[in-house]
Amino acid sequence: MRASDLAQEEPFTDGGSARLAYERALAVSEQVQAALSQARLESAYGRFLLRHGERRPALDLLRAARERLIRLQAKPYLAICDELLHSAGLRPPSPGAALDLTSQELAVARLVAAGRTNSEVGLELFITSRTVAFHLTNIYAKAGINSRRELAERLPQLLS
């Protein structure tokens, strides 16, 4: 079975019960300290959320899963996770490689790191604040960060 075949599996059809089952399973996996199981659950739940149009929480889960899978050196599952991130429009960087930020993402990153709000960034770049949020989601996923503060602290490193 190929990674792409595994990435297409959907274990649940009912959205409400699936969401509840994923959330319960993640809570249990955190209690028992099962890193591989937790990463696989995060990947599966991320795939589920992507299919249901919830991109931001899906990307957060997929990023967390990817970090765990890298630490565990679980290459087959990492390939699946990377494929899911790619299907969401992101190309995770190779370890040690420079980020592949688009020119728009780079402009947003610099302004956000300088302390501007989404609205201020939008006004300066002639885009909506929602578009700024979209670019920030991509930047965070590519950089493996979670906040504006982290972006400001790590921007020089991320651009080198």
Provide the residue-wise pLDDT of the chain in tens; the chain has 160 residues: 344 444 445 555 567 788 888 888 888 877 887 888 889 999 999 999 989 988 888 888 888 898 888 888 889 998 899 888 888 877 655 554 556 788 899 899 999 999 999 999 999 999 999 999 999 988 887 787 888 998 998 888 766 5
Instruction: Let me know whether 36 and 64 are in one domain.
Output: yes
Same domain, 70 and 11: yes
**pLDDT at residue 18, as a whole number:** 86
Helices (H), 88-147: 103-113, 118-125, 129-143
Q: Considering the domain boundaries, does residue 98 fall inside one?
A: no
Predicted local distance difference test score (pLDDT) of residue 1: 38
Claim to verify: residue 32 and residue 7 sit in the same structural domain:
yes
In a shared domain, residues 63 and 139: no
- Confidence at residue 2, expressed as pLDDT on a 0 to 100 scale: 44
Same domain? For 79 and 30 the reply is yes
pLDDT of residue 85: 86
Specify the CATH number for the domain of residue 130: 1.10.10.10
Written as six digits, the tokens of 156 are 């020089």
The Cα–Cα gap between 59 and 47 comes to 9
Residues of the domain holding 153: 103-159
The structural domain count of the chain equals 2
pTM value is 0.56
Last residue of a domain, one of 42, 62, 87: 87
Asked if residue 65 belongs to a domain, the reply is yes
Q: Is residue 95 part of a domain?
A: no
User: What are the structure tokens assigned to 66, written together?
Assistant: 């990817």
Dihedral of the alpha carbons of 79, 81, 83, 87, in degrees to the nearest 10: 180
Which residue is associated with the tokens 């992507």? 50
Residue 154: the pLDDT is 84
In a domain, 94, yes or no: no
